[in-house]
Structure 1
Amino acid sequence: MRIFKIWVEYSKELDIDGIKQSSKVYGGSNISESDAIIDAQNKLNRAQRIIYGELQKDEEYESDIVEEIIEKIDDENIVTRNRYGALVLNSKRIMFIDVDNYSKSITDHFFRKNLSVKELMLTKIKKTINQKKYSHLGFRVYETNKGYRILVTNKNFNPRSKESKKMMEDFNADYLYRWLCIKQNCYRARLTPKPYRIKQKGIKVIYPKRSKEQQKQLDDWIIKYEQKSREFSSCHLVYQFGEVKVDKIIEYHDRLSGVKWPNKLA
């Protein structure tokens, strides 16, 4: 999980088919700007070796999460502000599974029973949870605006492990979400509403190179966003199963997501 408090933009010429081309990347560090520059240099050196054929592209190369750190709960759980202004919990080991659609088998079922799409999705989730191979796990299932968020409470996972990938598949997790978990080597859960769902004017969060004017625009936007967000929730708890354990991270998630508020989902 590459989330850092210091980001430095760094450029270097790379040799591409005998032609020098300037390439620019961000390097990250929690120590110093000079350490961040070394990180950037390592990235560009690696890119040059791939161009020369000395290295092969690694499909599981860890991507940066270049977002402003809002709160560091601990070393493995960090809250950032994403590109459109919402707060996101980034967790290295706590598994969140996003389910935003239903599989074909459920679609067939949809035409046979008078159930809504969300009811069908929840039926599928419960059926998967009740499989014998998952009987040792504790689950909390939250309803979101589009679908459901599943949280495993009593076991940690490596986002790139075969076990994690298989669970994502079994629960029909959103494909893009699965891919991001692997690329970023962490699980992510949005804590606050999407701006357009609460009729808040959108903003593109500039980070890390933000001018004073951009900072003021963001500060003003955040004040309005936080005011409107109080009337909405990101998710509601609808189902629990197995040996459920609630720790400080889950409590944090529930509090900022407005789980206990009888608000509209956004």
Structure 2
Amino acid sequence: MQIPQYWAQVRLRHETGIRHGATVLRWGWSDISQADAQNHAQQRAQQALEDVLKAPQTHHLDSDFERMEWAGEYGLYGSTPIREEVLERQNDTVMTRNNYGAHCLNTAQVAIADMDYPREKPLPGFPFLSMIFMLLALPWLWLTPLVWSVQQIVLIVIIAATGLVFHSRLKQWLSARKTKQTRQARALDQAVARVQQAQANHPDWGLRVYETPKGLRVIVTHAAWAPQAPEVKTLFQELGADPVYALLCEKQQCFRARVSGKPWRMGISGLSTQARRWPVSAENLSARQEWCQLYEQKSERFAACRFLQQLGPSTFCLEAQAFVPWHDSASKAQSSLPLA
């Protein structure tokens, strides 16, 4: 796992003609200083430019070579480490702020699996338009004298049809809300049962189970597993872990756990495009700091997950002894706050 403290970016261009040239863009990083990160970026950019200029003679350039390294924060498909703001470090665990502003714990030794519930169909919306039409039409119907003209009969038929539509869609809306609660409870029970079965298959495993807004989080507590360990692959397969998350763990050689709420679940907008990318430019730093202050205040009223149960051995390995208390405190897992 590598999560650098300092980042820099260098763009180099070599002119080969009036309208032709070679341009490369590379990131550099360091845990020592900003200057060291700048030197690293300069070295990587210079090497990339040399590779481009040599390509016509050597007839060789790697198929995955990128002239402009726009790799995302997670470095999932690129050659850079996780590029996020570092908030705190404790031993081998690092808390970062991800690209939409939430806090994440990153660890290379405590295995974490995320399980998502099956994707639900969108709920039908509340019939606002037909309700508004009925609220406007009923007073007119009540106050207008009945003369049985063609126009009046047509309007009465339209009002009656709208009333039937409103009644039907209102029933659908109420039924869907009730069914959603039942489906969520059933999905939670099924997911917990899957974790219990995995633990039963491996009685020596200690698994700590949490509810998240859309699934479960499982933390391995009996032993320290590296992301490439065969036990991790078995764990992910038996739990049906999110495949993108599993790929991220393999690529970055670390496990991640979001420990604060997602902004849109707490009623606030996310960071702007200019302020979300780390490192942020000087002109956007103030806007980022203001948003982060609002986010921290709002997130105090929400939990990222809720502790459900400890399965298997209750004795924690040394790595879990350090990680779990920080995770539970940061995520407010022992509280009754709403999940976000």
1:9 maps to 9
Q: Which has the higher strand share?
A: 1
1:236 aligns with 2:237: no
How far apart, in 1, do the equivalents of 2:289 and 2:35 lie? 29
Greater CA drift, 145-154 or 203-212: 203-212
1:28 maps to 29
How far apart, in 2, do the equivalents of 1:7 and 1:53 lie? 30
2:278 maps to 207
Q: Taking every aligned residue pair, what percent have the same amino acid on both sides?
A: 28
What TM-score do you get using the length of structure 2 for normalisation?
0.66
1:258 maps to 332
- Tell me the CA shift for residue 262 of structure 1: 0.4
1:97 aligns with 2:97: no
Unaligned runs of 5+ in 2: 66-75, 120-181
1:121 aligns with 2:178: no
- Tell me the CA shift for residue 32 of structure 1: 3.1
- Tell me the CA shift for residue 57 of structure 1: 6.0
Q: Which amino acid aligns with 1:90?
A: N
Instruction: Render the CA deviation track for 1:113-143: whole Å, top value 9, x for unaligned.
Output: 9861121111112111210xx2222110000
Greater CA drift, 35-44 or 193-202: 35-44
2:219 maps to 151
Please state whether the residue corresponding to 1:120 is helix, strand or coil: helix
- Tell me the CA shift for residue 14 of structure 1: 8.5
How far apart, in 2, do the equivalents of 1:209 and 1:237 lie? 35
1:166 maps to 234
CA pair 168-12 structure 1, distance change in 2 beyond 3 A:
farther
CA pair 202-54 structure 1, distance change in 2 beyond 3 A:
closer
Contact 1:102 1:172 in 2 (8 A): no
How far apart, in 2, do the equivalents of 1:152 and 1:14 lie? 51
CA pair 46-127 structure 1, distance change in 2 beyond 3 A:
farther
Contact 2:100 2:270 in 1 (8 A): yes
What TM-score do you get using the length of structure 1 for normalisation?
0.82
Please state whether the residue corresponding to 2:264 is helix, strand or coil: helix
- Tell me the CA shift for residue 206 of structure 1: 3.3
Contact 1:14 1:23 in 2 (8 A): no
Contact 1:12 1:44 in 2 (8 A): yes
Instruction: Render the CA deviation track for 1:148-205: whole Å, top value 9, x for unaligned.
Output: 0000012112213333223212210001101111122110000100000010121142
Instruction: Render the CA deviation track for 1:38-69: whole Å, top value 9, x for unaligned.
Output: 543347737948x7647686999764211111
* Number of equivalenced pairs: 250
Please state whether the residue corresponding to 1:119 is helix, strand or coil: helix
Out of 184, 207, 226, the residue aligned to residue 252 of structure 2 is 184
Greater CA drift, 214-223 or 193-202: 214-223
Q: Could you say what the CA RMSD is over the residues aligned between the two structures, in angstroms?
A: 3.0
Unaligned runs of 5+ in 1: 104-112
- Tell me the CA shift for residue 71 of structure 1: 0.2
1:225 aligns with 2:302: no
Q: Which amino acid aligns with 1:21?
A: A
Structure of greater Rg: 2
How far apart, in 1, do the equivalents of 2:241 and 2:14 lie? 39
1:45 maps to 47
1:73 maps to 90
Greater CA drift, 231-240 or 245-254: 245-254
Q: Which amino acid aligns with 1:169?
A: Q
- Tell me the CA shift for residue 144 of structure 1: 0.2
- Tell me the CA shift for residue 242 of structure 1: 1.8
1:109 maps to none
1:198 maps to 266
Contact 2:260 2:303 in 1 (8 A): yes
